[in-house]
Amino acid sequence: MMEAESVHAQSLGKYASVNGIKMYYEIHGAGSPLVLLHGGGSTLYTTFGKILPALAKTHQVIGVELQAHGHTGDRDAPETFEQDADDVAELLTQLKIANADIFGFSNGGHTALEMGIRHPQKVRKLIIASAFYKRDGVPAGFWQGFAGATLGNMPQVYKDEFLKISNSQVALLNMFNKDVERMRNFKDWSVEDIRSIKAPALVVIGDHDLPTPEHAVEMSRLLPSGRLAILPGTHGSYMGEAMSPDPGSKVPELFAAMIDEFLAAPIAGDK
């Protein structure tokens, strides 16, 4: 399935010169704009391939690939969530999209937080999926795993998909090293940072996810217009992410419908 999607992606993909890199994006469907931000080490399709067609039935889906990931180029600078958010904001400016709904998974969810903090005028609503705002929102063993991380620790499905796109072991190792370094240097957002996000925000995790349910509850309550969904599943399995243990699960269909309903609900003060 992933290979077919990659071929399809090549026919749809476009590039924009954004803050010194060539940024890859695809546009699917029509309607209100919805930006998709993939997870670390991943691509548009390894994260969103399962639910993208459903989302594109009701939205103009703008799927991007972030610095050093997938088809997108790199810059001589570390990856940061702040820079990723600035890149997405600049892409929206170039596409003449005043504001959009932002849906980020895992590290993409951290970029979505930064969109809400740094570029609130660009954000209509946020979906923050399987992400966390502080280090103790996940088990301590997660952080210990970065101490001696090697490319062998990267899930094979992510490596395979990246190499289908670039066929470069050097580029793959570069992305992996930058991802690892970013997580080693992960710093908490402050409570004030999270409370500053005014956009309606849906926090989503699986009940056996990386972020703990307790952390998801806490973050949803700090967000001024926060909502919460805890679904049965692991890290992203509720949306059919590439690592999902049950490719035949119907939960992603239910999740896509839930996302549609959340995004369609009116915002107080909207005309």
Determine what percent of the chain is predicted with pLDDT higher than 90. 92
Query: Domain of 229?
Result: 2-264
Mean pLDDT estimate for the chain: 94
- pLDDT at residue 256 greater than cutoff 70: yes
* Residue 247 domain-assigned (yes or no): yes
Pairing of strands 59-65, 32-37: parallel
Cα separation of 13 and 34, whole Å? Answer: 16
- pLDDT at residue 10 greater than cutoff 70: no
The domain spanning residue 50 has which CATH number? 3.40.50.1820
247 pLDDT band (50/70/90 cuts)?
confident
Count of domains forming the chain: 1
Determine what percent of the chain is predicted with pLDDT higher than 70. 95
Chain segment 108-129, per-residue pLDDT in tens: 999 999 999 999 999 999 999 9
* Residue 193 domain-assigned (yes or no): yes
* Residue 147 domain-assigned (yes or no): yes
* Residue 270 domain-assigned (yes or no): no
